[in-house]
Amino acid sequence: MGAPGSATSGASDTGAAGSPANRVAEAYQREKARAGGNWYAYLSVAGGGGAPQVAVQDKADVVVEAYSVNKIAVAVAVLDKVDRGLLTLDQRVEVTAAIVVPGGDGIFGLDSAYPSSVTLGHALAALLTISDDTAVRLCGLVCPAAELNQILVAKGFPNTQVEPVANPNRFFLGTSTARETHNLLQALVAGTLLSPASTAFLINVLRAPIAFTDGIRRTMSSDERARVATKAGWFADARHEAGIIFNAAGAPVLTYVLFADGQADPDNFGATHPAVQARAAMGPKFLAAVSGVTNSAVPTRRPRAYRPTNGG
């Protein structure tokens, strides 16, 4: 395994050049080179006995602004309080005009009708699928910044922290490292991070059809997209994404954290940004690389069936 901060292809960790981990590494290196800029990444493939095989570690211990990828960590802290009986998903939080973030991402800013209220479960779903910015503030109402950071430290993630501001119930989304975000996702699918109910809730939201589709999931069928739990983050010149790919049986077989900044076209927040295009190219290659990989060390989690409706 390479030293912290180095970029490795995975060959030293997995042996055979044609192994799934090496195929993942090759796809990463190829698309990273095309996109340019700075990358901070950690990717692993399920190996024998369930031990993850490192495919890529590229400046994996550099602390970066994680932006909306850290909404996963926010959700983990809130759900930890749910698990301890301090909160419930069906309790309501107030949506006032003052708490709504104008512009930006999400749906609450489009309502134009305040005050209103939603359940905490609704706020978390909006936080993780459409990356709603107001939902961050709604989470802050029930889990202030200082408490949120304490929960994450207690769970073993001292670098995955939100940034407090003067209002204790508000915060910027803060920092993480590729390695810590990877380890958080690994703990999630292993069932050691949250209760079974909260684990299922979080994974189901992250691989919902309306979760982020411009990156890893862009060029995939609906069934393939359902096998990917993902969260993206974008701000300034950074374009990030982190998640888990499951096999057809519902076992997690690839965990990826892809933080990137410094690419061209920083004002383009669409699908044609170089780093987003790179991740879109990686997605199908990652799926193909782990085709046939199994993982019996953790629970299988089949996605919910997608059944579009026509109203009525």
Residue 79, class by beta-carbon neighbours within 10 Å (0-12 exposed, 13-18 middle, 19+ buried)?
A: buried
Q: Range with the lowest mean pLDDT among 45-54, 187-196, 292-301?
A: 45-54
The pLDDT-based confidence of 15 (bands split at 50, 70, 90) is very low
Q: Is the pTM of this model over 0.85?
A: yes
pLDDT band at 253 (very low <50, low <70, confident <90, very high): very high
pLDDT reading at 9 higher than 80: no
Neighbours of 140 (CB within 10 A): 24
Please give the C-alpha separations between residue 293 and each of 48, 182, 185, 305, in angstroms, as whole numbers.
10, 19, 18, 22
User: Residues 153-178: pLDDT tens digits?
Assistant: 999 999 999 999 999 999 999 999 99
At 139 the pLDDT is 98
Mean pLDDT score across all residues of the chain: 93
Most confident among 17-26, 142-151, 289-298 (mean pLDDT):
142-151
Residues paired with 231 in a beta bridge: 242
What was the pLDDT predicted at 17?
63
